[in-house]
């Protein structure tokens, strides 16, 4: 039986999360990672802004297919639009949901939007549903991406 309990203790100097398990085979490290990421996101205070010139837009995060650094600036790409983002990639990594994964020094991808992975001598190219846009995956991150994609199916 899985049970979740929350205790509020005003005496604590910092928040603490304790998970007690009786089966060491269960993968609670993934849960630990999710909890840490969510706590960082909530306490970071970073506000993500999307800019198209002088105009601020408000896309849903789920509509973003990837973030990419171009000429020193980070851009968010949806299937049809592109907008400049006010945060660096490493800052985005800390606040984005679990379905976003670093795939290169200059890119983060929404794995839910991946349609295909094409391998060639030029590199590993990700393609997306309903979009002509694509982005390269570096060899360093390829295995992690493949493992994540296999788990999703």
Q: Walk me through the domains of the chain, giving residue ranges and CATH numbers.
A: 50-151 (2.40.50.1020)
How confident is residue 36, by pLDDT bands cut at 50, 70 and 90? confident
- 64-115 pLDDT tens trace: 999 999 999 999 999 999 999 999 999 999 889 888 999 999 999 999 999 9
Average pLDDT taken over every residue of the chain: 86
What pLDDT does residue 94 have? 83
More confident residue, 19 or 75: 75
What DSSP string runs through 101-125?
A: EEEETTEEEEGGGEEEEEEETTEEE
Is residue 126 classed as helix, strand or coil in its secondary structure?
strand
Of 105, 104, 106, 87, nearest in space to 95 by CA = 87
What pLDDT does residue 68 have? 98
Q: Residue 74 and residue 76: Cα distance in Å, rounded? A: 7
């Amino acid at each position: 039986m899985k049970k979740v309990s929350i205790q509020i203790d005003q005496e604590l100097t910092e928040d603490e999360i304790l998970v007690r398990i009786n089966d060491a085979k269960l993968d609670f490290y993934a849960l630990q990672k999710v909890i840490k990421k969510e706590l960082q996101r909530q306490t970071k205070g970073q506000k993500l802004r999307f800019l198209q010139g002088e105009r601020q837009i408000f896309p849903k995060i789920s509509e973003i297919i990837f973030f990419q650094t171009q000429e020193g600036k980070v851009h968010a790409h949806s299937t049809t639009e592109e907008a400049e983002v006010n945060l660096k990639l490493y800052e985005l990594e800390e606040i984005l949901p679990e379905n976003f994964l670093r795939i290169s020094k200059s890119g983060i991808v929404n794995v839910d939007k991946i349609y295909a992975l094409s391998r060639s001598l030029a590199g590993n190219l990700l393609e997306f549903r309903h979009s002509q846009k694509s982005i390269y995956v570096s060899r360093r991150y390829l295995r992690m991406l493949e493992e994540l994609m296999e788990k999703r199916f």
